[in-house]
Structure 1
């Protein structure tokens, strides 16, 4: 068996009372000291409201820009008819360079300049009026030559074609042979044309002109003869 190292076991009443008393004193001290601690805490830490930064009120939306529309009226001003300028000098169509052309009166009161080609006004080509020579009806009976006597006796008939140059006075100036049935027929026709034939002269724009004309003459025997 072992001997008790610490003496007799068990709880001593005196020690228990001391322990309870100490614990009660500690608790009482804590209870009565609590207000002082709270007061000291209240005095030490004073809660003050910290002002928080307040956001500035939102700015009002900017007013939308109002576009001012200016109503413009376009008026078409008919310029007065431009008169064709009178050219005092001949200008080649291919001539190019700087030139000034007067603007319509009443618009800007000035002239406009530019570069371009000066062309003369268009002139349509002139078509001359030609009128051919015609036999003068007043001399119609004089166009038939006299029948050559030798051809009459031989009872030969024939036809002669000649070219005659008609002058500005209507008279025949030259006679050229084209064809003839005989020399006698051509001679009679040539003599009659130079002496008796008369024409209304040909004209070009009303001006008499010399022209060539082809004429034919027939020699026919009359049954009465």
Structure 2
């Protein structure tokens, strides 16, 4: 069995002193470095600003003043309409309500009439001269009534009448061409022809014209 002995260490006083001196120098240098920084740090701490606390609670909007909810009455003023002045229309007087008779002249509305001439100045239509000596053809020739005075007096005879016939066949003038010898018979014949007899119109070149002819009217007792 072997026994191992550890070597015995001997302390060197000179070496210990050198190490201690080096440690002391380093500690002094460290103090020199730390000493100037303390006032600066204190100054920094002293100069730190006050802490401002900011609240995260939302700011409440101020309540607007309560307005009157009563509806406002708005009056609308309509402009006064301008009335356009119209020209006064003069209406013509109403026409008389009369029915047109056959042969009347109907004047259409709006026709401007000229001055009315005197009736004495109105000339009959120019139809030319009547056809004289014409042979008149009867359209209707009823016999006249026998005058009662002539019956009592036994008067009889033939009246020759000169008749002017218009273009429509109506007698417009009757004259005694030759008398029967009795005034009552002549008058009765003339009245009958003028009032009740009709003739066929006389023609000239295809146009109806007035004509004058002689017709007999005979009064005879049985």
Q: TM-score, normalised by structure 2?
A: 0.38
Query: Which protein, 1 or 2, shows the higher relative CO under an 8 Å CA cutoff with sep ≥ 6?
Result: 2
Higher strand share: 1
